[in-house]
Structure 1
Amino acid sequence: MMMNWILFWCLITLPLATILLFASKILSRRRNKKRAVGFFHPYTNDGGGGERVLWCAVKAIQEENPDLDSVIFTGDHDASSQSLMSRATDRFGVHLLYPPKVVHLNKRKWIEETTYPHFTMIGQSLGSVYLSWEALSKFTPLYYFDTSGYAFTYPIARLFGCKVICYTHYPTISLDMISRVRQRTSMYNNDALIAKSMWLSRCKIIYYTVFIWMYGMVGSCAHLVMVNSSWTLSHIEKLWRIPERIKRVYPPCDTSGLQALPLERSVETPKIISVAQFRPEKAHGLQLEAFSAAIKKLDEDLPRPKLQFVGSCRNKSDEERLQNLKEKAVQLNIYEDVEFHKNLMYRDLVRLLGGAVAGIHSMIDEHFGISVVEFMAAGAIPIAHNSAGPKMDIVLDEDGQQTGFLAQSIEEYGDAILKILRMPEAERLKIAAASRRRANRFSERRFYDDLKAAIRPVICHSS
């Protein structure tokens, strides 16, 4: 009988003791918060627009609040204060005022796509909770700034007593995604097997519905939400339901440096550039097929163009995707007309942009499209997907003048390429000039000003 009572007592007290232990640690952390802004960005080597936002946000806060330390939570173990500062300069042309401190994370595998062959979205989201717990246990800042879209970490940050700020590039899930599952449309985020099955599609709708509810709950924990476009703003307002805390802050685009490039381009071999990470949603295959279709219709008296792919590879899957693109170019008999540039330095990217007559971008529902703005600032006429950011914010007329082309199908992309190749030089220069003026709306300077204005009430009114 005595042993039973002891066992019963242990079953009750041990979990309680564990909870109290964690609670005491959290309370201790809450009392010992450092005067710092902790940037939660587990991948500081992805090379995309999200990383540019990170470094520009760090610089903006260093300028606005020099008394606050900048701390980067990263899973890249080779990252150091100096290497990250150099990377910001070399890769993105962003000059930080002083090196950020670094907190290394050992549990990044819990947010990696390969860890969750199924139910990837919920797996990565719950994995981010674990990763943020590790981050905040190692260092608890006064302000927690998520620049990677891990909304499930916000309740954890608030539990540790942090003010939560986020810059959301796109919603983890959107109402459009549920709509596509209902319509049983096969895409990179809706497997063909599920799209073909009514029963599996219904199960996925239930899964998405539950996830949307959870996503709305955790997102509403943020004290300040900055979004990068009108499209993202619309979705986040519907999902998180905190419109008074949401601000649209267009992402930083290097318009000033690129606008120094001359608008005149060599016509001997017209260059068409594509700038995007080698990820499935970027639809590089469509670009190859559209380019091939354009070449087949090319007038005999016109010079043969060249397509230049510029992008970064985050992992083995991206490397395989790049190799598959090379093989596809061979199959389409255009390999000699295509160049592949991986993980370029910023200065080399600028050089290529300065030689391109057009820039092509084909992601469906691209939340914003920094590379589209970079095309425009550099004088390369954009050909972008007719949806989301490019459609709603970027490729719009400027003073009544066309600034680029919007397309959806392979045929539409191919026709847009042909129009630019056949265009008289005077007309091309007219569109390129209007496109460059349009790009002024998305400058780094505007990002710094808008971000500082957005964070001022949160930082100034915090203890």
Structure 2
Amino acid sequence: MLPQDMRLHGLLLLTAVFAIPFLGRLGARLIGWRLFRTTEARRGAILATRKREDEEHVEKQRVLSNSEDADWVEVESRPAGSAPNGGQASDEWDGIVGFLHPFCNAGGGGERVLWAAIKATQKRWPNAICVVYTGDHDVTKSTILERVAQRFNIHLHPPTVIFLYLQTRNLVLPSTWPHFTLLGQSLGSLVMAYDAFSLLVPDIFIDTMGYSFTLAFCKFLFPNIPTGAYVHYPTISTDMLNSLDAETGKGVNAGTGKGFRGFVKRQYWHAYASLYSLSGRNVDVVMTNSSWTQTHIQSLWGPKRTKRRKPHAVEVVFPPVAVDELEEAIDLDGPKAVLRERILLYVAQFRPEKNHDLILRSFAKMLQADLRDAKLVLVGSVRDDDDRKKVYALRLLAHDLKIEDNVQFACDAPWPDVLNWLRKSWIGVNGMWNEHFGIGVVEYQAAGLICVVNDSGGPKADIVIDYDGGPTGFHADTASEYAASFVQAFSMSEEATLEMRKRARASSKRFTEEMFAKKWVEQLDKLIDIQRRAPK
């Protein structure tokens, strides 16, 4: 038999093994309960403000002869809580959906998804309140919504959109974490999530920017709050790990896996991948923007979600694109068709991963093929000083390549200007390696441009594919391949060019705002069902 003191120590150790996790969970629940109690007053104020603004908005709509969005006539004409046939609406829901999107005013493709999701939510559940946790302190609610209407032509119902302003957004900026950036941003997101919950505890919590650690944190504090993720791209993936061994053209980390520093980076990335996999195991509903993203998220989160017996599979919900608007605004043939110019158009935010450098070098190579009248137009939003520095560096590169007279920058262009470029351009370009989806590429297709995209990611797997028996564009990887594709796109016969434009437009119908809204409502309905069934 073991001595009594050894048995006592063993008993204490065994007690600690079971007690520490229990005490940790108990502590988290107490913190969650405290956050809920301290934000109850704000919840009441939001509900009261919403009611007042809704009444004011309805009165304003009665005065105006034309509504900003005809869709709202149907919503507002129905009394709250009633069904279209006059009966009781058993499926009506009036809870609060919290959207974590700290850069909601950025104006990119991720923001279009956010606003389209909120619009779809408002139309399906007009009594629900959509709260956006943002760090955009320098803009008001009206300014943000005006920009949404201007940039995306998405008109929202103001009374049920609430903005709560975070104080800790700087903790998820890459510049805050010059070393171990991925881990630093993830840890920073936990503080930001606490910041969000201290402002308001929602009924449903959805991350639309990729901060998956915040979803795990939400479940830790509030086990009964349903969580959802709309994943634009995995924070880390096997492709990223493999890129460490690549020499060129495989992302911003290509070839950085060499030497001692490369070894450390590789081990760090593998360790982070394990943590990232854990962060997604408790997410109730997972949506991805492409089949490429779905494959990676399924490989990272799928096994652990299965162990947790999560009933809902990872679903692809393609981002919304203004396909119908583009088709209506741009005629491809007939008397109203616009005479297109030899313009290559690249619509993308000015960030390093968008690989504008590759497109500039490719364009320079193309100009050597006696196409001196061609023009490259770079359209994109500029969010901060880093983006402005990137634009300056690109201007310098264009000067060094002696193509500055053939390159035009259109920074922070409003939607009418973007539409005009889409109307008259010949080729639509995408240069990012492993672009998670590529909303801009779908816009190219809907506008009838000939697409030349990177031979990877969503543009290759989901968008620029064969359709109706023929190709809808070209794939390229190197500067030489891009230049050759540009030349080929300009050199096709008029008949072949028109046929490709029409195939591309027909293919783009898979990505309409209507299709997105339908899929979004299906997924949010799952979260609402979980919320209704959860213990109160």
Using the TM superposition, name which of 399-408 and 417-426 deviates more. Answer: 417-426
Task: Indicate which of 256, 259, 264 corresponds to 2:324.
Answer: 256
Task: Indicate which of 145, 153, 156 corresponds to 1:93.
Answer: 153
Task: Indicate which of 152, 156, 177 corresponds to 1:116.
Answer: 177
| Equivalent residues in 2 for 1:34-433, closer than 5 Å | 35-99=95-159, 100-158=161-219, 159-160=221-222, 161-182=224-245, 188-190=251-253, 194-197=256-259, 199-241=260-302, 242=305, 244-260=312-328, 261-263=330-332, 264-266=337-339, 269-298=341-370, 304-433=373-502
The CA deviation string for residues 364-408 of structure 1, in whole angstroms up to 9 with x for no partner, is: 001111100000001111100011111111111111022111110
What is the number of equivalent residue pairs in this alignment?
Answer: 441
Measure, in 2, the Cα distance between the counterparts of 1:106 and 1:89: 26
Measure, in 2, the Cα distance between the counterparts of 1:229 and 1:360: 19
What is the CA RMSD across the aligned residues, in angstroms?
A: 2.1
Measure, in 2, the Cα distance between the counterparts of 1:24 and 1:361: 49
Using the TM superposition, name which of 76-85 and 394-403 deviates more. Answer: 76-85
Q: Which secondary structure state, in structure 1, belongs to the residue aligned with residue 410 of structure 2?
A: strand
Letter in 2 for 1:281: E
Task: Indicate which of 508, 520, 524 corresponds to 1:451.
Answer: 520
Using the TM superposition, name which of 91-100 and 105-114 deviates more. Answer: 91-100
Q: Which secondary structure state, in structure 2, belongs to the residue aligned with residue 352 of structure 1?
A: helix
Q: Is 1:439 matched up with 2:508?
A: yes
Measure, in 2, the Cα distance between the counterparts of 1:340 and 1:352: 12
Letter in 2 for 1:276: A
Letter in 1 for 2:516: F
Unaligned runs of 5+ in 1: 1-16
Give the CA deviation at 1:189.
Answer: 4.0
User: Retained in 2: the 8 A contact 1:185–1:195?
Assistant: no
User: Retained in 2: the 8 A contact 1:367–1:389?
Assistant: yes
TM-score scaled by structure 1?
0.91
Give the CA deviation at 1:202.
Answer: 2.1
User: Retained in 2: the 8 A contact 1:289–1:410?
Assistant: yes
Letter in 1 for 2:195: E
Give the CA deviation at 1:186.
Answer: 8.1
Measure, in 2, the Cα distance between the counterparts of 1:29 and 1:117: 32
User: Retained in 2: the 8 A contact 1:188–1:280?
Assistant: no
Unaligned runs of 5+ in 2: 1-22, 44-94, 307-311
Using the TM superposition, name which of 237-246 and 433-442 deviates more. Answer: 237-246
Q: Which secondary structure state, in structure 1, belongs to the residue aligned with residue 130 of structure 2?
A: strand
Q: Which secondary structure state, in structure 1, belongs to the residue aligned with residue 203 of structure 2?
A: strand
Measure, in 2, the Cα distance between the counterparts of 1:185 and 1:402: 27
Q: Which secondary structure state, in structure 2, belongs to the residue aligned with residue 141 of structure 1?
A: coil
Measure, in 1, the Cα distance between the counterparts of 2:246 and 2:499: 42
- Describe the shift of the 1:226–1:336 C-alpha distance in structure 2 as closer, same or farther (beyond 3 A): same
Measure, in 1, the Cα distance between the counterparts of 2:439 and 2:27: 46
Q: Which secondary structure state, in structure 2, belongs to the residue aligned with residue 135 of structure 1?
A: helix
User: Retained in 2: the 8 A contact 1:88–1:94?
Assistant: yes
Using the TM superposition, name which of 345-354 and 227-236 deviates more. Answer: 345-354
Using the TM superposition, name which of 236-245 and 169-178 deviates more. Answer: 236-245
| Structure 2 partner of 1:27 | 33
Give the CA deviation at 1:212.
Answer: 0.9
Letter in 2 for 1:441: R
| Structure 1 partner of 2:74 | none
Measure, in 2, the Cα distance between the counterparts of 1:316 and 1:183: 30
User: Retained in 2: the 8 A contact 1:186–1:195?
Assistant: no
User: Retained in 2: the 8 A contact 1:79–1:102?
Assistant: no
TM-score scaled by structure 2?
0.79
Give the CA deviation at 1:421.
Answer: 1.6
Using the TM superposition, name which of 153-162 and 19-28 deviates more. Answer: 19-28
Measure, in 1, the Cα distance between the counterparts of 2:432 and 2:291: 17
- Describe the shift of the 1:162–1:184 C-alpha distance in structure 2 as closer, same or farther (beyond 3 A): farther
Q: Which secondary structure state, in structure 1, belongs to the residue aligned with residue 451 of structure 2?
A: strand
User: Retained in 2: the 8 A contact 1:184–1:196?
Assistant: no
- Whichever of the two has the greater Rg, that structure is 2
Give the CA deviation at 1:73.
Answer: 0.4
User: Retained in 2: the 8 A contact 1:111–1:123?
Assistant: yes
User: Retained in 2: the 8 A contact 1:182–1:205?
Assistant: no
- Describe the shift of the 1:27–1:334 C-alpha distance in structure 2 as closer, same or farther (beyond 3 A): same
User: Retained in 2: the 8 A contact 1:63–1:97?
Assistant: no
Q: Which secondary structure state, in structure 2, belongs to the residue aligned with residue 354 of structure 1?
A: helix
Give the CA deviation at 1:112.
Answer: 0.5
Letter in 2 for 1:259: E
- Describe the shift of the 1:403–1:21 C-alpha distance in structure 2 as closer, same or farther (beyond 3 A): closer
Measure, in 2, the Cα distance between the counterparts of 1:151 and 1:247: 16
User: Retained in 2: the 8 A contact 1:377–1:436?
Assistant: yes
The CA deviation string for residues 24-77 of structure 1, in whole angstroms up to 9 with x for no partner, is: 442144467753111100002221100000100111111122221111100000
Q: Which secondary structure state, in structure 2, belongs to the residue aligned with residue 462 of structure 1?
A: helix
Give the CA deviation at 1:19.
Answer: 10
- Describe the shift of the 1:384–1:365 C-alpha distance in structure 2 as closer, same or farther (beyond 3 A): same
- Describe the shift of the 1:230–1:97 C-alpha distance in structure 2 as closer, same or farther (beyond 3 A): same
User: Retained in 2: the 8 A contact 1:155–1:218?
Assistant: yes
User: Retained in 2: the 8 A contact 1:298–1:418?
Assistant: no
The CA deviation string for residues 260-303 of structure 1, in whole angstroms up to 9 with x for no partner, is: 20224435x4111000000111000111111111111126xxx7
